[in-house]
């Protein structure tokens, strides 16, 4: 039986047998990560963990977009408080990704369409990533005068150094097939739901405590720590308060002018 709940803070929850589906549904169609959306995703994880029958938290987007990362409207804030507000958002984003690595649930990202910036981070932090052929992944932060500080630790863990570095430097989108080549995507499929059903055949046989132990063991073998998160957050907060980033973000939120576009006459 499937039970769809109302959309709350840009996230719609749908309970299915052994699965809680969290769908990003921001009204602007970009499925950006506002503070409200991050809170709602955290609450979705709380709800899934509280259900003894749930084995999978499924993340997906709507309208042909998975997630585009930082909410620029919120990051712009007011000139005095925008940077600190963005820093809080970065801290919440890092905390959510850390929870993905600790929860006794399998976190599965189903990407159907565009994933950019923090959307790539959500996918990289998930345990498994399923993508459709039309999906693409990009890190456009450098175009805004930023560095994907909070995304790179989990992305490098998945892909290794060079693919993550190339995505950050080139800012160019990569296809789902290319992302699968360097292990950002686990499987490219025509039907993500069918792939999830196949996973459930095995996942429902696992004790959640075993899933947690497995995650803890793998995390202990990797370099990311709370200190890594703190460094990422410091750099993110510093860069988003830089003159270049502030100007480009403000230009976009006030005139919708992208960084590479010339000022309109």
pLDDT at 262: 77
The predicted-structure confidence for 250-259, as pLDDT tens digits, reads as follows 888 888 888 8
Question: Which two structure tokens, joined as six digits, stand for 236?
Answer: 């993110």
The predicted-structure confidence for 162-209, as pLDDT tens digits, reads as follows 999 999 999 999 999 999 999 999 999 999 999 999 999 999 999 999
pLDDT at 9: 79
Which residues is 137 bridged to in the sheet?
115, 174
Whether the per-residue pLDDT at 28 is higher than 80: the answer is: no
DSSP 223: S
Q: Compute the mean pLDDT over every residue in the chain, rounded to the nearest whole number.
A: 91
Q: What is the pTM of this model?
A: 0.93
pLDDT at 265: 62
The predicted-structure confidence for 162-172, as pLDDT tens digits, reads as follows 999 999 999 99
Q: If you write DSSP's letter for every residue of 68-100 in order, what string do you get?
A: -EE-HHHHH--TTTHHHHHHHHHHHHHHHHHHH
The predicted-structure confidence for 61-70, as pLDDT tens digits, reads as follows 999 999 999 8
Q: By percentage, how much of the chain surpasses pLDDT 90?
A: 74
pLDDT band at 7 (very low <50, low <70, confident <90, very high): low
Whether the per-residue pLDDT at 78 is higher than 70: the answer is: no
Catalogue the long-range contacts made by 24-30 (C-beta closer than 8 Å, 24 or more residues apart): 24/59, 24/60, 24/61, 24/62, 24/65, 24/66, 24/67, 25/62, 25/63, 29/63, 29/65, 30/65, 30/68
Q: What is the mean pLDDT of residues 97-126?
A: 97
Whether the per-residue pLDDT at 1 is higher than 60: the answer is: no
């Amino acid at each position: 039986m499937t039970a769809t709940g109302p959309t709350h803070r840009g996230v719609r929850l749908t309970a299915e047998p052994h699965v809680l589906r969290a769908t990003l549904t921001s009204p602007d169609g970009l499925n950006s990560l506002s503070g409200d959306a991050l809170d709602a995703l955290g609450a979705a994880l709380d709800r899934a963990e509280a259900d003894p029958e749930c084995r999978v938290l499924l993340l997906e987007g709507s309208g042909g977009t998975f997630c585009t990362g930082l909410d620029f409207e919120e990051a712009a804030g007011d000139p005095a408080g925008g940077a600190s507000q963005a820093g809080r958002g970065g801290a919440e984003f890092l905390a959510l990704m850390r929870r993905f690595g600790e929860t006794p649930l399998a976190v599965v990202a189903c990407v159907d369409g565009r994933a950019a910036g923090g959307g790539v981070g959500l996918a990289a932090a998930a345990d498994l990533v399923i993508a459709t052929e039309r999906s693409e992944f990009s890190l456009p932060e450098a175009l805004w005068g930023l560095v994907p500080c909070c995304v790179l630790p989990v992305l490098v863990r998945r892909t290794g150094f060079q693919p993550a570095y190339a995505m950050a430097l080139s800012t160019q989108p990569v296809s789902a097939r290319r992302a699968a080549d360097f292990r950002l995507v686990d499987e490219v499929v025509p039907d993500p739901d069918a792939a999830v059903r196949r996973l459930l055949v095995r996942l429902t046989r696992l004790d959640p405590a075993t899933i947690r132990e497995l995650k803890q063991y793998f995390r202990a073998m990797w370099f990311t720590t709370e200190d890594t998160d703190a460094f990422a957050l410091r750099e993110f907060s510093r860069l988003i308060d830089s003159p270049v980033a502030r100007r480009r973000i403000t230009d976009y939120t006030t005139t919708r002018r992208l960084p590479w576009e010339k000022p309109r006459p």
